[in-house]
Chain A
Amino acid sequence: EAAVTQSPRSKVAVTGGKVTLSCHQTNNHDYMYWYRQDTGHGLRLIHYSYVADSTEKGDIPDGYKASRPSQENFSLILELASLSQTAVYFCASSDTGGDQYFGPGTRLLVL
């Protein structure tokens, strides 16, 4: 069954540490996205990619980097984690039609 998976599902990180969130999709989609969702709020786009080895900045890219080594994999990197980056992070994939398929999310707590 086609799916989007994320790892880890939850993580506690220390301020100033490096955090890597991973996403894998078996939908054969070209487009992948990283969103963050803060409690009680909507989805904000951090980075996205429409082809391997290329990433684009979304609406809130500051403090985040992204990597797309293959069509299936898309990572989000926090080089220096900060308290304000505590949130739930969702990865999604889509084809050109626009329907997005979300992963289960990663709950990140930065202390």
Chain B
Amino acid sequence: QQQVRQSPQSLTVWEGETAILNCSYEDSTFDYFPWYWQFPRESPALLIAIRPVSNKKEDGRFTIFFNKREKKLSLHITDSQPGDSATYFCAASPGTGGYKVVFGSGTRLLVSP
């Protein structure tokens, strides 16, 4: 049972374009949604995260849009750079005792110069 789904599986954009990565979840008890990125042969690292009290979280060129009613969220990367090329994982955890994080299968982003 895949509780966190990501699409597309892979995405290629040109440098300067906006990349949009999608994520959806099933469990209504999920209350915290971090995104991690992973560069080749490196470990995942926290990029940005959001709680459902807000529907938008921005950090520089990275923005999470959150739709609680539809159980969907998306990560927008504006002015994409080749250095943004990585695999992006959407994750979710319950708000209470939220120590168990469920990861999506990831979106592989390639930014072409």
Chain A residues near B89 (CB-CB < 8 A)? 42-43
Interface positions of A from 85 to 99, Cβ below 8 Å from B = 90, 94, 96-99
B94-106 interface code vs A (CB 8 A; 1 in, 0 out): 0001111101111
Chain B residues near A103 (CB-CB < 8 A)? 43
Interchain nearest-CB distance for B3 vs A (Å) = 10
Please give me the residue from chain B that is nearest to A49 by CB atom: B99
In this assembly, does B49 line the interface, its C-beta being within 8 Å of a C-beta of chain A? yes
B69-113 interface code vs A (CB 8 A; 1 in, 0 out): 000000000000000000001000100011111011110000000
Give the contacting residue for A98; candidates B45, B101, B105; CB below 8 A: B101
B21-37 interface code vs A (CB 8 A; 1 in, 0 out): 00000000000101010
Chain A residues near B44 (CB-CB < 8 A)? 43, 90, 100, 102
Do A45 and B100 have beta carbons less than 8 Å apart? Answer: yes
User: How many of B's residues come within 8 Å of A, CB to CB?
Assistant: 20
Do A41 and B105 have beta carbons less than 8 Å apart? Answer: yes
Q: How far is the CA of A96 from the CA of B49 in the complex (A)?
A: 15
Interchain nearest-CB distance for A78 vs B (Å) = 20
A99 and B103 contact, Cβ closer than 8 Å, known pairs A43-B89, A104-B43: no
Please give me the residue from chain A that is nearest to B41 by CB atom: A105
A100-B34, A100-B36 provided; 20 other pairs, C-beta below 8 A?
A31-B99, A41-B105, A42-B103, A42-B104, A42-B105, A44-B103, A45-B100, A45-B101, A50-B99, A96-B97, A96-B99, A98-B32, A98-B34, A98-B93, A99-B49, A100-B44, A102-B43, A102-B44, A102-B45, A104-B43
